[in-house]
């Protein structure tokens, strides 16, 4: 056997032959650590050629029926519920409600007669019991384990009486003796997750893994973790607000790019059945700088409020701040307004945000941003009941946004009017004339 020294990044797992201050892949500083790699002598053994490929038509079909989660909207998003042998990765910022929601799901499985195990590496059994009492979800069949040893979790998956649902909270706290490094390192996360997912695939147990996030909002650990699992869920929201949004980033058993809206209550997480106007709050139509947008996130349309403030600056370079959407998109829209509508925005600080603590990437927000900026610039409120959606191009034309028919039906159902979209106004000049008349 031969040994070789390499330097492994603790953030992304990249390898380098010599130490560097900055990781060549992810760009993080001081994350390369020395590691000894053992290489064995001998050639690579090859399997017989006739054993490598199998005809798909000869493989027997396994009919596995998904188990309900106890929450119908969540069943629809996951693809009829928890799939036996499936692996689900749940990410989110600290304190957003991941552990609360998963403990509720485990208790709901026990209430339906299934066996659930809550494996925690972050809390003691007394803390888990206290949280279950506080949420009112303490079930007689709910099992819990407080340990950081991945071998104990594997022994539960390989036991004769396997659970129907097993929750690992979280993968960054577990350690495997077959990998080097401290808990949460790239090597440990890779080893623990691969062992758990492989063991779950051989059984009918649904495995739910909680993953921490980095400062950039990405799930920590190697990207391999997201590729190994069947479903990736991300729970987001502002901890100062009650609303939480669970997004589906990947799903092998159902639709992707979907979402479920939760409300954080004293008794735990409650699903919001119709979030159409949930994020509007108690808005005032008489205030300038606010526009209602029929937004789309996944396949769900709901109304949000886009707010803007244009005020005279005292700086040589005016401020441009956007909360809830990309600041570069705000700069692009402002440049189009200056060019196409001959507005002097260079002496103004402009701030824009989405109400309710939402973060969205819907191109249909463009028209709402334009309307709110114009409303604040002229200091005139928009028409009561007006709703906007549409994408603004660099020529000042308004393009249709995806899901236009769905947005229109939802706006009509909620009683909004007048409706401003690509079919009612084609250019920004036409929009400004309809909103404020000839200027």
Any binding-site annotation on 317?
no
Q: How many CB atoms within 10 Å of residue 315?
A: 7
Angle of the 428-436 helix axis to the 327-341 helix axis, nearest 10: 80
> Do 211 and 224 touch, CB atoms closer than 8 A?
no
Say which DSSP state 22 is in.
B
* Length of the chain counted residue by residue: 439
Question: Is 96 annotated in some ligand binding site?
Answer: yes
Confirm or deny that 27 is annotated as ligand binding: no
301 is in an annotated binding site: no
Contacts of 58 (CB under 8 A, 6+ apart): none
Question: For the chain, percent helix, then strand, then coil, each to nearest 5?
Answer: 30, 30, 45
Angle value at C-alpha 171, between 167 and 173, nearest 5 degrees:
115
**35 marked as part of a ligand binding site:** no
- Residue 428 CA to residue 40 CA, distance in Å, equals 68
Name every residue whose Cβ is closer than 8 Å to that of residue 311 and which is 6 or more positions away in sequence: 348, 349
Q: Is 86 labeled as ligand-binding?
A: no
- Alpha carbons 131 and 298: distance in angstroms, whole number: 32
C-alpha Rg value of the chain to the nearest Å: 26
DSSP state of 102: H
Token code pair at residue 164:
């129907």
How far apart CA 239 and CA 357 sit, in angstroms, is: 9
Enter the tokens of residue 285: 């139509």
Report the alpha-carbon angle 71-242-90, nearest 5. Answer: 50
95 is in an annotated binding site: yes
Phi, psi angle pair for 71, to nearest 5° = -120, 110
Q: Is 99 annotated as a binding residue?
A: yes
* CA distance to 21, 26, 154, 178, 179, per residue, from 30 (Å): 5, 12, 34, 26, 22
The answer to whether 131 touches 103, Cβ cutoff 8 Å, is yes
What three-state secondary structure class fits 206?
A: strand
Residue 271 backbone dihedrals phi, psi, to 5 degrees: -75, 135
Structure tokens, 283: 């808005």
Residue numbering of the annotated binding site for ATP = 92-99
Residue numbering of the annotated binding site = 92-99
């Amino acid at each position: 056997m031969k040994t070789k020294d390499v330097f492994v990044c603790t953030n992304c797992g990249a390898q380098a032959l010599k130490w560097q201050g900055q990781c060549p892949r992810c760009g993080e500083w001081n994350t390369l650590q020395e590691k000894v790699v053992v290489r064995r002598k001998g050639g690579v053994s090859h399997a017989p050629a006739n054993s490598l490929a199998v005809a798909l038509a000869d493989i027997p079909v396994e009919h596995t029926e998904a188990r309900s989660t106890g929450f119908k909207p969540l069943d629809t998003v996951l693809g009829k519920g928890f799939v036996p042998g499936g692996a689900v990765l749940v990410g989110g910022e600290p304190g957003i409600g991941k552990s609360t929601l998963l403990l509720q799901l485990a208790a709901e499985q026990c209430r339906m007669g299934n066996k659930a195990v809550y494996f925690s590496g972050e809390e003691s059994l007394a803390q888990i019991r206290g949280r279950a009492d506080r949420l009112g979800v303490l079930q007689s069949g709910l099992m819990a384990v407080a340990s950081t040893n991945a071998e104990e979790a594997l022994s539960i998956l390989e036991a004769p009486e396997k659970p129907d649902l097993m929750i690992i909270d979280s993968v960054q706290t577990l350690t495997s003796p077959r990998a080097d490094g401290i808990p949460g390192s790239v090597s440990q996360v890779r080893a623990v997750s691969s062992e758990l997912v492989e063991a779950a695939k051989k059984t009918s147990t649904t495995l739910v893994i909680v993953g921490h996030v980095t400062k950039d909002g990405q799930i920590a650990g190697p990207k391999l973790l997201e590729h190994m699992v069947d479903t990736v869920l991300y729970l987001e929201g502002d901890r100062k607000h009650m609303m939480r949004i669970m997004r589906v980033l990947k799903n092998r058993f159902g639709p992707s790019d979907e979402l479920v809206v939760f409300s954080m209550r004293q008794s735990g997480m409650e699903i919001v059945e119709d979030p159409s106007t949930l994020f509007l709050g108690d808005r005032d139509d008489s205030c300038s700088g606010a526009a209602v947008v029929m937004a789309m996130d996944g396949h769900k349309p709901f109304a949000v409020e886009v707010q803007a403030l244009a005020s005279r600056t005292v700086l040589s370079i005016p401020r441009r701040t956007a909360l809830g959407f990309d600041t570069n998109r705000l700069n692009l829209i402002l440049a189009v307004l200056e060019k196409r509508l001959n507005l002097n925005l260079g002496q103004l600080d402009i701030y824009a945000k989405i109400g309710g603590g939402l973060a969205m990437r819907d191109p249909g927000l463009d028209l709402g941003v334009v309307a709110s900026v114009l409303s604040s610039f002229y200091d005139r409120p928009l028409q009561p009941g007006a709703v906007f959606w549409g994408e603004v191009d660099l020529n000042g034309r308004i393009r249709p946004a995806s899901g236009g028919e769905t947005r229109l039906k939802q706006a009509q159902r909620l009683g909004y009017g007048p409706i401003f979209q690509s079919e009612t106004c084609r250019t920004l000049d036409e929009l400004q004339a309809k909103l404020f008349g000839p200027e």
